[in-house]
């Protein structure tokens, strides 16, 4: 299985802290970059590891006190591997355990420098989470195409919906994600600014749409995914948005139609939310943004019980005398209701909130999602936290209700037609 020359050996480590690998003298630390995948061949299992740190070591403090002259290459070479050495730190990510324990020992190594065409891995492996470490002095190799295929699969695997998201830094092997598994879990893309998070998110969404793995509802705070987005760099390039790539499967809704039109987006649909669609529960979720007290929320419940779903419109229209009268009759607290009224006037600044709407846009979005249309919601200038939290909460809470209802129906009928889309 060792296609390549070993790079080093494991000298110490632990499951929680990772492995320390001493590099052989012929291997320069400059060839190993953080983020590279290496494998450690243990006695029973093969460990697929991520390189997380590169360290320079010296065997004796005297070398540090008296470093050789940089021009003395002979002395530097003599020290390399004995007096001076490189160490890398690996974090084991997965273990491959062969189903037949003899497989690891019997497979013939390929000649170095000869690239083997990689076929489907012939040996059956179980991929396990790492629960142990390789033993002392296990050898470390560059990961091969075959290792990548065992871990990430291959694109034309007939049993999986695999999608290629890119290649490792220094290899020409496609890295695939199993989209069905991906959409079952909560996922996040993290990284420093400008490292490609939005690009990767767009790529993943395109894969999910193309392979029909799930239906996407995208809250696009910075208007990056629906229509084209500019790339960074000296020359101005744009990349296509999802609506341009999949016109018949993606719909754009906008909370700020003027901004969307100014960007040249065609056929975006407007989205308005009316006051009567805001529940007290929605306000609880944006309580901090509106600075609402517990007492104000309790009084909001009293108001809702009295006026029904139009309670916000009613409250905003009440004068002090009416509030006083209301409190006397319904046991409300006047100062809390007045504070609530004052704070809810902030909602009037949100362009997409209207006293009444001719249509229930949220229902429209729910119907589109049920028909497996992907929805991108753009915020335009309405991307402050209050606006974002309110719109996302109102919409997702409704969708959640609809899904729970549908899931309950499916549990009752067991009819595949009643099953919700992912």
Ligand X SMILES: Nc1ncnc2c1ncn2[C@@H]1O[C@H](COP(=O)(O)OP(=O)(O)OP(=O)(O)O)[C@@H](O)[C@H]1O
Asked if 252 and 261 count as a contact pair (C-beta separation under 8 A), the reply is no
Question: What is the distance between the alpha carbons of residues 289 and 391, in angstroms, rounded to a whole number?
Answer: 13
**Could you tell which of Mg ion, ligand X, none binds residue 417, using a CB distance below 5 to 8 A set by kind?**
none
Given 106, 195, 238, 413, the residue binding ligand X (CB under 6 A) = 195
Residue selected from 232, 235, 414, 416 as contacting ligand X according to rule CB under 6 A: 232
Residues 6+ apart with CB under 8 A from 274: 353, 354, 355, 356, 357
User: Could you tell me if 369 and 217 are in contact, meaning their C-beta atoms sit under 8 angstroms apart?
Assistant: yes
**Residue 313 in contact with Mg ion, rule: CB under 5 A:** no
Name which position in 5, 91, 198, 333 contacts Mg ion (CB under 5 A): 198
Residue where the block lists tokens 């901090």: 288
State whether residue 348 is helix, strand or coil. Answer: helix
Residue 191 binding ligand X, by CB under 6 A: yes
Cβ closer to ligand X: 130 or 164?
164
Asked if 199 interacts with ligand X (CB under 6 A), we say yes
Partner interacting with residue 329 (select from Mg ion, ligand X, none; CB below 5-8 Å by kind)? none
Q: Are 7 and 24 in contact (CB under 8 A)?
A: yes
Q: How far is the CB of 252 from Mg ion (least distance, A)?
A: 18
CB of 383 to Mg ion, least distance (A): 13
Q: Is 198 a residue that touches ligand X (CB under 6 A)?
A: yes
Q: Show contacts with ligand X in window 319-378 (CB under 6 A).
A: none
Instruction: Name the phi and psi angles at 132, rounded to 5.
Output: -150, -175
8 A C-beta contact, residue 151 and residue 25: no
10 Å Cβ neighbour count for 297? Answer: 16
Task: Determine the interface stretch with Mg ion among 135-143, 196-204, 340-348, 377-385 (rule: CB under 5 A).
Answer: 196-204
Give the pairing of strands 125-129 and 84-98.
antiparallel
What is the distance between the alpha carbons of residues 155 and 100, in angstroms, rounded to a whole number? Answer: 26
Q: Which of 224, 16, 296, 300 is nearest to 130 (CA)?
A: 16
| Residue 165 contacts ligand X per CB under 6 A | no
Q: In angstroms, what is the minimal distance from the CB of 300 to Mg ion?
A: 36
E strand or H helix at 403: helix 385-413
Interface with ligand X (CB under 6 A), residue total 11
Q: Return the one option of Mg ion, ligand X, none that residue 235 interacts with (CB less than 5 to 8 A, by type).
A: none
Q: Which of 134, 142, 143 is nearest to 12 (CA)?
A: 134
State the minimum distance, in angstroms, from the CB of residue 371 to Mg ion.
30
Residues 110/117, Cβ–Cβ less than 8 Å:
no
Q: Which stretch binds ligand X (CB under 6 A): 192-200, 260-268, 346-354, 375-383?
A: 192-200
Residue 195 binding: pick among ligand X, Mg ion, none (C-beta 5-8 Å cut-off by kind): ligand X
Please select the residue that binds ligand X; options are 233, 321, 358, 417, rule is CB under 6 A.
233
DSSP designation for 419: P
DSSP 26: T
Alpha-carbon distance of 134 to 12, in angstroms, equals: 10
Q: Which is nearer to ligand X, 197 or 263 (CB)?
A: 197
Subset of residues 9 to 68 that bind ligand X, contact rule: CB under 6 A: none
Q: How far is the CB of 114 from Mg ion (least distance, A)?
A: 42
Of 57, 196, 308, 317, the one binding ligand X (CB under 6 A) is 196
Q: Is position 403 an interface residue for ligand X (rule: CB under 6 A)?
A: no
Asked whether position 194 contacts ligand X by CB under 6 A, the answer is yes
In the list ligand X, Mg ion, none, the entry touching 199 (Cβ below 5 to 8 angstroms by class) is ligand X
**Residues at the site binding Mg ion, with contacts judged by CB under 5 A:** 197-198
**Residues at the site binding ligand X, with contacts judged by CB under 6 A:** 191, 193-199, 231-233
């Amino acid at each position: 299985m060792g296609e390549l020359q070993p790079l080093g050996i494991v000298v110490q480590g632990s499951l929680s802290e990772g492995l320390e690998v001493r590099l052989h003298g012929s291997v320069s630390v400059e060839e190993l970059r953080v983020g590279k995948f290496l494998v450690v061949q243990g006695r029973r299992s093969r460990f697929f590891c991520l390189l997380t740190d590169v360290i320079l070591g010296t065997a004796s403090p005297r070398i540090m006190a008296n470093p050789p002259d940089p021009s003395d290459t002979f002395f530097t070479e003599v020290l390399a591997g004995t007096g001076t050495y490189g160490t890398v730190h690996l974090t084991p990510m997965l273990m491959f355990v062969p189903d037949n324990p003899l497989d690891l020992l019997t497979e013939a190594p390929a000649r170095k420098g000869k690239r083997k065409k990689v076929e489907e891995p012939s040996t059956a492996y179980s991929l396990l989470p790492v629960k142990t470490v390789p033993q002392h002095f296990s050898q470390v190799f560059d990961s091969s195409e075959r290792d990548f295929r065992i871990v990430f699969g291959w694109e034309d695997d007939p049993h999986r919906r695999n999608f290629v998201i890119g290649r490792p830094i220094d290899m020409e092997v496609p890295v695939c994600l199993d989209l069905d598994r991906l959409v079952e879990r909560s996922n996040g893309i993290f990284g420093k600014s400008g490292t490609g998070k939005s690009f990767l998110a767009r790529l993943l969404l395109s894969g999910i749409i193309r392979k029909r793995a799930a239906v996407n509802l995208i809250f696009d705070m910075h208007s990056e995914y629906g229509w084209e987005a500019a790339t960074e760099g000296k020359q101005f390039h744009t990349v296509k948005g999802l609506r341009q790539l999949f016109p018949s499967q993606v719909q754009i809704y906008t909370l700020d139609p003027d901004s969307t039109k100014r960007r040249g987006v065609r056929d975006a649909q407007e989205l308005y939310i009316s006051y009567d669609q805001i529940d007290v529960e929605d306000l609880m979720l944006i309580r901090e943004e509106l600075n609402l007290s517990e007492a104000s929320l309790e009084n909001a419940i009293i108001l809702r019980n009295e006026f029904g779903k139009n309670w916000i419109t009613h409250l905003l229209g009440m004068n002090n005398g009416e509030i006083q009268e209301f409190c006397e009759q319904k046991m409300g607290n006047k100062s809390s209701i007045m504070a609530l009224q004052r704070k809810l006037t902030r909602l009037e600044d949100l362009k997409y909130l209207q006293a009444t709407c001719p249509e229930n846009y949220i229902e429209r979005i729910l119907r589109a999602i049920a028909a497996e249309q992907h929805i991108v919601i753009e915020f335009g200038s309405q991307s402050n936290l209050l606006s974002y939290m309110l719109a996302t909460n109102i919409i997702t809470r409704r969708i959640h209700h609809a899904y729970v209802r549908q899931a309950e129906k499916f549990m009752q009928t067991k009819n595949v037609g009643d099953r919700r889309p992912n």
